[in-house]
Amino acid sequence: MKERLQKLIAAAGLASRRQAERWISAGRVTVNGRIAAIGDQADVERDRIEVDGRPLRLEQPKVYLLLNKPNGYVTTARDPQGRKVVADLLKDVKVRVFPVGRLDLNTEGLLLLTNDGDLAARLTHPRHQVAKTYLVRVRGTLTASSRRRLEEGVMLDDGPTAPAKIAKVRSSGSHTWFEMTISEGRNRQVRRMCEAVGHSVSRLKRVGLAFLVLEGLPVGVYRPLTNGEVKRLKKL
């Protein structure tokens, strides 16, 4: 049976559907020797599908990992600038996995990695509004007015944000710590929201994704999700 190429690539655990679409657009995917285009379909039983010249193989075991990402790592498999990548922390993982969403270079904390492209697509789709909680440290004092603006949503250059939830606010010298929960996944969203209300972020750590938390997992260490956790994620 023919299916869209991005779905087949995701099912093989190589990338999310969105990333697979980018690979197709870049000409990295061929079907029977012909460069594929967005919208093309293929049958894995009859067609030869290749990504970067390598045959597409399905039926890899599904892997779900929770990593406590350190500061200074990028969430890509390779980095042309030679920076450290999270794949360096997963060298004993036999199956290729990819991150669900992104944490930028200087953001640490909870990062989910998997080769389940369908689940990754659902977790990152805006429709499902999966909550992400961050421990934030900003310069200066978070005033009641700034907090209210964050909780009501702020205007960014790519449009207004959904309201954030702010909790556990405390001052520490010239900084303020608080927890911030958002349900969107825009690029550098927490940092940009804080900057929009006049506060630059000096430290940022993701501590929760839906019901998942770090639970004392050491920095730079990962653990597999339990079967129960995987089932709960699929129900979101």
Task: Return the domain boundaries, the chain.
Answer: 3-55, 64-126+212-235, 131-209
The CATH-assigned architecture of domain 131-209 is: 2-Layer Sandwich (3.30)
Give the pTM: 0.76
* 28 in Cβ contact with 42 (< 8 Å): no
Structure tokens at 136: 């934030």
Q: Measure the CA–CA gap between 94 and 102, rounded to whole angstroms.
A: 22
Q: What is the DSSP string of 94-153?
A: -S--EESS---TT-EEEEEEES-HHHHHHHH-GGG---EEEEEEEES---HHHHHHHHH-
Asked whether the predicted pLDDT for residue 126 surpasses 90, the reply is: no
- With tokens 């029977």, the residue in question is 32
Q: Which residues contact 91 (CB under 8 A, 6 or more apart)?
A: none
**Lowest pLDDT segment from 27-36, 115-124, 217-226:** 115-124
Report the CATH superfamily, name and number, of domain 3-55: RNA-binding S4 domain (3.10.290.10)
Name the CATH topology of 64-126+212-235: Alpha-Beta Plaits (3.30.70)
Query: What are the distances in angstroms from CA 153 to CA 148, 159, 208?
Result: 9, 10, 20
* 3-55 and 131-209 agree in CATH topology: no
pLDDT of residue 74: 92
Q: Which one of the listed residues 40, 47, 79, 104 is annotated catalytic?
A: 104
What integer pLDDT is reported at residue 37 of this predicted model?
94
| Residue 52 designated active-site | no
Condensed to tens digits (0 to 9), the pLDDT of residues 159-211 reads 999 999 999 999 998 999 999 999 998 889 999 999 999 999 999 999 999 99
More confident residue, 178 or 91: 178
And the tokens for 110?
Answer: 């909870």
Mean pLDDT, the chain, rounded, equals 91
pLDDT band, very low/low/confident/very high, at 219 (cuts 50, 70, 90): very high
Q: Is the pLDDT of residue 14 over 80?
A: yes
- Angle subtended at Cα 217 by Cα 171 and Cα 111, rounded to the nearest 5 degrees: 85
Q: Judge whether residue 128 has pLDDT over 80.
A: no
Joined tokens for residue 227: 């079967």
Tokens, residue 149 = 């603006």
**Looking up tokens 């702010």, which residue turns up?**
166
pLDDT at residue 46, rounded to an integer? 82
59 has a pLDDT exceeding 90: no
Is the CA virtual torsion 56, 74, 189, 196 positive or negative? Answer: negative
